[in-house]
Amino acid sequence: MSGRRPALKPARLTPRDVLHTGSAGMRNRPMRVVLSALGIAIGIATMIAVVGISASSKEQLLQELDRLGTNMLVITAGEDLLTGKKVPLAKDAAGRVARIDGVEHVGATGLLPFSVRRSDKISDDITGGIAVQAASEDLLTTLRARMMSGTWLNGATGKYPSVVLGDVAAKRLGITAAGQQVYINGQYFTVLGIIGPLPLAPDIARSALVGWDVARSQLGFDGRPTTVYERSADARVDAVHALIPRSVDPQTPRNVNVSDPSSGLQAKAAVEGAFSNLLLGLGGVALLVGGVGVANTMIISVLERRYEIGLRRSIGATRGQIRIQFITESLLLSGLGGAAGIVLGAVATGVYAASSGIPWVIPLWAVGGGLAATLVIGTVAGLYPAVRASRLSPTLALHAS
């Protein structure tokens, strides 16, 4: 007669019921939830912050690089192979560079052997590390520099004793606005303007620039540039790079140095982007400890809830359903920690970015990776306690507590 009985089949729990049973233990002990999720939160927050801060720094450098361009080359005098002396560039070096196919802008500077001071009362030994240089009119455009205040040298002002200061030079001299005067080689020059920051040409930032003509007429400049700045079409950079030495000095091209100042920034961006493995490892250790904490909490939870497990078994929970319940609880615990950690890490990155004026970047892969890590940890940490719970004898609930 038993053959005609309908087949027994355990009912499936809906996802909502799974979540409900999985969170039952947590609802009763909020403090324990917070403490055991904390370890995971700290681990994830560390990793997100490490990745986020390095990504933000890199983003900032890349943005700057984008603005400054990677198509500028700097030509300087090289040394003679035999004598070891500097071989100055030809007088018309800038013109020769300008004739190379693809070159768009050329600017030149010529170093002058003077110091710049606020007044004649200051000894001319005190240079403040500021160079006095003759500058061609095209220099500003070639550098893509902006004036922080005042104006750049032009055909007219370049003939008179006027000077434009790099931002570092201005700061060192204590000049804050155009119109003030500085003392160069026994003569006062009027400050026309101050150039904004120049990450690609730090020499210019530390210079006082006078017009090409006034340098020749009043400061004994021989007209031979010491540095030529050149900007070309992006696609032509390599070709131009190869052509420059022979164009500038056809007899001894090896005496001409050509450098790409943006390559330094690019390398820096790559370094900033490569986050510190040490810190990342530290976050990983915190995460591991957090996982152990969750496993520990789960084992205690199983021990404490023997009666609940027995009760659930007696009202019809299968072993699998008990396992799912505790793995869900473990996943919720670590997931909670992970979510809190992602928020914490993002906030930490945001605070750092805001305080150092860089863009706030949290790579999506870091968030996804953090969540995936917590899910793996939650499953691993919950597996053993869950299996233990499911193997508990269902007769437990019948014993009076």
Min CB(276)–another protein separation in Å: 45
Closer to another protein by Cβ: residue 28 or 277: 28
Contact between 58 and 368 (Cβ < 8 Å):
no
Can you give the three-state secondary structure of the chain, one letter per residue?
CHHHCCCCCCCCCCHHHHHHHHHHHHHHCHHHHHHHHHHHHHHHHHHHHHHHHHHHHHHHHHHHHHHHCCCEEEEEECECCCCCCECCCCCCHHHHHHCCCCEEEEEEEEEECCCEECCCCCCCCCCCCCEEEEECCCHHHHHCCCEEEECCCCCCHHHCCEEEECHHHHHHHCCCCCCCEEEECCEEEEEEEEECCCCCCHHHHCEEEEEHHHHHHHCCCCCCCCEEEEEECHHHHHHHHHHHHHHHCCCCHHHEEEECHHHHHHHHHHHHHCCCHHHHHHHHHHHHHHHHHHHHHHHHHHHHCHHHHHHHHHCCCCHHHHHHHHHHHHHHHHHHHHHHHHHHHHHHHHHHHHHHCCCCCCCHHHHHHHHHHHHHHHHHHHHHHHHHHHHCCHHHHHCCC
| Binds another protein (CB under 8 A): choice among 308, 337, 366, 373 | 308
Stretch of residues binding another protein (CB under 8 A), selected from 124-132, 279-287, 306-314, 375-383: 306-314
| Interacting span for another protein (CB under 8 A) from 24-32, 57-65, 132-140, 268-276 | 24-32
**CA proximity to 162, closest of 120, 202, 191, 198:** 191
Write down the least CB distance from residue 30 to another protein, Å.
Answer: 11
Residue selected from 223, 320, 359, 368 as contacting another protein according to rule CB under 8 A: 320
394 touching another protein, by CB under 8 A: yes
The residue among 17 and 79 lying less far from another protein, judged by its C-beta, is 17
Residue 119 sits in the site that holds another protein (CB under 8 A) = no
Question: Scanning the structure block, which residue is given the tokens 């473990």?
Answer: 330
| Closest CB 15 distance from another protein, rounded Å | 12
Q: Does 395 bind another protein (CB under 8 A)?
A: yes
Q: Least distance to another protein from the beta carbon of 302, Å?
A: 16
- For residue 400, the minimal CB distance to another protein (Å) is 5
Task: Give residue for tokens 């976050």.
Answer: 283
- Nearest distance in Å: CB 330, another protein: 20
Q: Which stretch binds another protein (CB under 8 A): 268-276, 288-296, 328-336, 388-396?
A: 388-396
Q: Per rule CB under 8 A, is residue 317 in the interface with another protein?
A: yes
Among 19, 24, 279, 280, binds another protein (CB under 8 A): 24
Q: Name the minimum Å distance from CB 398 to another protein.
A: 6
Least Å distance, CB 314 to another protein, is: 5
31 binding another protein? (CB under 8 A):
no
How is residue 138 written in tokens? 């095209």
Is 277 among the residues that bind another protein (CB under 8 A)? no
Which region, judged by CB under 8 A, interacts with another protein, from 175-183, 195-203, 319-327, 377-385? 319-327
Q: Which of 311, 343, 344, 347 binds another protein (CB under 8 A)?
A: 311
Binding residue for another protein (CB under 8 A) from 314, 356, 368, 372?
314
* Contact between 319 and another protein per CB under 8 A: yes
Whether residue 391 contacts residue 313, with contact meaning beta carbons closer than 8 Å, is answered with no
Tokens of 289: 């400890």
- Going by C-alpha positions, the residue among 389, 396, 397 that lies closest to residue 323 is 389
Is residue 304 within the footprint of another protein (CB under 8 A)? no
Using CB under 8 A as the binding rule, whether residue 27 contacts another protein is answered as yes
Assess contact for 116 and 163: CB atoms under 8 A: yes
Q: Which of 76, 266, 318, 379 binds another protein (CB under 8 A)?
A: 318
Q: Is 1 in the site for another protein (CB under 8 A)?
A: yes
Residue 71: name the closest of 105, 38, 25, 110 by CA.
Answer: 105
Query: Smallest gap, in angstroms, from Cβ of residue 300 to another protein?
Result: 17
Identified binder of another protein from the candidate list 313, 326, 332, 358, rule CB under 8 A: 313
Is 315 a binding residue for another protein by CB under 8 A? The answer is yes
Binding site for another protein (CB under 8 A): 1-2, 5, 8-14, 16-17, 21, 24, 27-28, 307-308, 310-321, 393-395, 397-398, 400-401
